A and B are shown apart, each in its own frame.
Chain A
């Protein structure tokens, strides 16, 4: 009796150990397929791309591929088109994010009030989000086309244009084309996320404030805004990064033209890789963009830290 129980005690810890091992492996087994795919299709090319930045990689030139050190970066520092693309990226991102956020917030506030037919209204105003970006770009390019679209004639009738021409071929105005398309396409994103945050605000807060005599503007400032602030901060910061990399609309509508006036860094990278097949130079620009985005993210983290410390 005593003997068997002592062997039992010796054997028993073994099984839980195996089980524990299997249990410890289990989450890794579930996530392995996704991780392997991400690693091979995203991390390996990322590393490869970083190496191209220091090599001469041109698809059309079979003798290319050699290590050339910092040559690409030297060329880049002289490249006026690149500096223009950097300025354009700021303008494109700033205007798009601001307008999308502004109109998205108003839309969210409008939809937060219950009314008859809200469901269908919501579905209709959010529809642009589902329109594929290439079609958004083409659609707006056609609207801006004086032959087929109404916009140039309307803008001319309003006195905003001297003649009903295509703003996409006007160097001064071309950037507005992709920006308007981007705003049209992106308003739903802000409206949806802000609406979700609005609906999470407890209703009795507003009632209490109204009883205490707070007007609508005061209620907005001291209840709505503070509740929305975290959502606003996160969505605006993430969207800024996303939109600064968002080249589809520009590629479709203007291809960076006229005279590089709508070229942003992301579309410049794509043009270098796709049109000129100069993968080395494209990768060098990518690396600079990556560093800039890292700096931006670090600034956000720092900002967050100082805000947290202050509280």
Chain B
């Protein structure tokens, strides 16, 4: 190895390291403050690691706050949304992948359009529509709204997974007398299982993070999702930094779990329509 290429390699590794530090530092700080006992919080403000670690903040948040309820609500909402969207999107994604039909162009155009226009402008009318139906302040209402927002992106994602499976499989099944739907259910779906898991992961992460509609549609503590609960906690008890950050760490866990599950499919997911980036 020549001296020049040595220098280049070292510079390359250092640059990667810099990116890793930048990416992880805020999360590290979150964890650090959540583990710092209250009496050290201000005296050791900018130290990289507290001289004493305690789990008191976590214990308090889990035992004496509403965060377990928020966590459960968010799990219900994000989980149901992920399941509903994945079922709907595998059907419509299959239609886009396997059929040539007249309205296809318009369906694709409509779904692309929904990815482009500002969802924030729907906040007011959706509130007005859901409120007489009793769907504000309810987890069901959130599931319906989030499902609609995520279906277009998930459809494109599922379509890309179906496109990767050869058509001969269904054709062979149809020659044996199966209908297209049977072939879809019994042959194609099982082959798409990794894709289905990825779609569930993407939709779950998106629904877990959603903030604006949850703020607008939910007002009480009983139906509050994690972001709503955390923000109201922040505005009420804005000095309990340790507890806030312990709650933040809890909110991070499901997102990280799903991130490592869907990591392999990031490229496909981001190019399919990019619902949350």
Contact A52 B118 (CB under 8 A): no
User: Which residue of A148, A188, A269, A293 contacts B116 across the interface (Cβ within 8 Å)?
Assistant: A293
> Quick check: is B75 within 8 A (CB to CB) of the other chain?
no
Besides A269-B120, A290-B118, 4 new A-B residue pairs in contact (Cβ under 8 A), listed by A number? A34-B88, A121-B16, A130-B256, A188-B23
A24 within 8 A of B: yes
State A41–B120 Cα separation when bound (angstroms).
13
Which 6 A-B pairs rank lowest in CB-CB distance, beginning with the nearest? A286-B121, A41-B148, A130-B259, A132-B209, A30-B95, A27-B99
A106 (CB) vs chain B CBs: closest residue: B15
Tell me if A48 and B33 are in contact (CB < 8 A): no
Interface size on A, residues (CB 8 A): 84
B33–A130 touching, CB < 8 Å: no
Contact A248 B96 (CB under 8 A): no
Q: Does A75 contact B (CB under 8 A)?
A: no
Give Cα distance in the complex from A121 to B198, angstroms: 21
Asked if A139 is at the interface of the complex by the 8 Å CB criterion, the answer is yes
Given A48-B125, A266-B118, A148 and B45 contact (CB-CB distance below 8 Å): yes
If A27-B95, A121-B16, A126-B266 touch, whether A38 touches B152 (CB-CB below 8 Å) is yes
A286 contacts across to B, CB distance below 8 A: 118, 120-121
- A238 near B19 with CB under 8 A, answer no
Assess whether B216 is in contact with A252, with CB atoms less than 8 Å apart.
no
Q: How far is the CB of A266 from chain B (nearest CB, A)?
A: 5
In the complex, whether B37 has a CB less than 8 A from a CB of chain A is: no
A31-B107, A48-B129, A247-B212 known; A293-B118 Cβ under 8 A = yes
Taken residue by residue from 218 to 229, chain A's Cβ proximity to chain B (1 for < 8 Å, 0 otherwise) reads as 000000000000
Question: How far is it, in angstroms, between the C-alpha of A24 and the C-alpha of B92 when the chains are bound?
Answer: 15
On A, residues with C-beta under 8 Å from B are 24, 26-28, 30-31, 33-35, 37-38, 40-42, 44-46, 48-49, 52, 57, 106-107, 110-111, 113, 115, 121, 123-136, 138-140, 142-143, 147-150, 153, 184-189, 192-193, 195-196, 238, 241-242, 245, 247-248, 251-252, 266, 269-270, 273-274, 279, 282-283, 286-287, 289-290, 293, 297
Of the listed residues A41, A110, A248, A282, the one surrounded by the most CB atoms of chain B closer than 10 A to its CB is A41
Smallest distance from the beta carbon of A229 to chain B beta carbons, Å?
16
B110's nearest neighbour on chain A, judged by CB, is A38
Chain A interface, DSSP helix/strand/loop, else mixed: helix
B interface list, Cβ under 8 A from A:
12-13, 15-16, 19-20, 22-24, 26-27, 29-30, 33, 41-42, 45-46, 88-89, 91-92, 94-96, 98-99, 101, 103-104, 107, 110-111, 114, 116-129, 144-145, 147-149, 151-152, 155, 180-181, 205, 208-209, 211-212, 215-216, 227, 230-231, 234, 241, 244-245, 248, 251-252, 255-256, 258-260, 263, 266-267, 270-271, 274, 276-277
Would you give the shortest CB distance from B4 to chain A, in whole angstroms?
11
A192 lies within 8 A of B266 (CB):
yes
Complex formed: what's the CA distance from A42 to B213 in Å?
Answer: 13
Given the complex, which residues of B lie within 8 Å of A107, measured CB to CB?
19
B263 contact set on A, CB distance < 8 A = 123, 126
With A125-B19, A142-B245 as contacts: A248 and B180 at CB distance below 8 Å? no
B244, A45: Cβ atoms closer than 8 Å: no
A42/B16 contact (C-beta < 8 A), A138-B244, A252-B211 known: no
